Amino acid sequence: MSESTTPILSVRGVRRSFQAGERKLEVLHGVNLDLAAHGRLCLMGSSGAGKTTLLNIIGLLDRPDEGEVMLQGQDAWSLPNSSRAGLRNRILGFVFQFYHLLPELDALENTTLPARLAGARGTRLREYRSKAKSSLEAFGLGQRLHHRPGKLSGGEQQRVAIARALLMEPQLLIADEPTGNLDRATGDRVLDLLFEEQQRRGFALLLVTHDQRLAKRCERIVHMEDGQIQADSTTPIPH
């Protein structure tokens, strides 16, 4: 995977500040970042470095004060609300540290939710449901399809979240500390699953973590500090 291919994501001069009482808190100071299609990038940095803010801007959930976020070559933040919602649904996939499954829905329904949000009904919805079922079975959750999140372990919930993120075949998967809430062994299994799926499906993966071991499994590590990118290194991935 080379950086010379057209980047799926291109962040240009992104700035973001927040008002904290009287003070204006500058969180991102003109961040530039590219991620190639099929690339695997690990974003590291201490707490408060601006990683999550950058991720929210890339994930089209938080509007930058300045700068551009190019997704598949188009400036996503210049699009109307509904188009951005469409991009989040079809192009982007999210995996969160706290899984963020809807407690009222079972594992299969949670996984199928993006298809429902895309307006799938009838036959199309049934197709997505069978696809979701296959994914969950492949992730070892065949016996847990109709369990609500409250009845699933952390590792199981995160696997459901991954299956949900992959249902619409996204081009870019954004994972914010995906193992941050799991024990080491479970975290490793979840990561194995994530990387296997990336290899198989070929989406780009943008990973935020504090975990050095995890970072080592990424081909590119970007360090952030004080709202700026400090270092960008490419490492061979050990298999």
- Residues near other proteins, by CB under 8 A: 56, 59, 61-62, 81-82, 85-86, 88-90, 94, 96, 98, 100-105, 113-114, 116-119, 121, 164, 168
The separation between the first and the last C-alpha atoms of the chain, rounded to the nearest angstrom, is 15
CB of 47 to other proteins, least distance (A): 14
The alpha carbons of the chain give a radius of gyration, in whole angstroms, of 18
Which is nearer to other proteins, 21 or 80 (by Cβ)?
80
Comparing CA positions, the residue from 156, 9, 11 lying closest to residue 92 is 9
Q: Which residues contact 127 (CB under 8 A, 6 or more apart)?
A: 120
CB of 119 to other proteins, least distance (A): 8
Facing residues of 36 across strands? 7
Which is nearer to other proteins, 90 or 210 (by Cβ)?
90
Which is nearer to other proteins, 62 or 188 (by Cβ)?
62
Quickly list H helices, the chain: 51-58, 81-90, 107-117, 122-138, 154-166, 184-201, 212-215
CB of 1 to other proteins, least distance (A): 26
User: Which residue reads 């199928």 in tokens?
Assistant: 112
CB of 79 to other proteins, least distance (A): 12
Which is nearer to other proteins, 197 or 221 (by Cβ)?
197
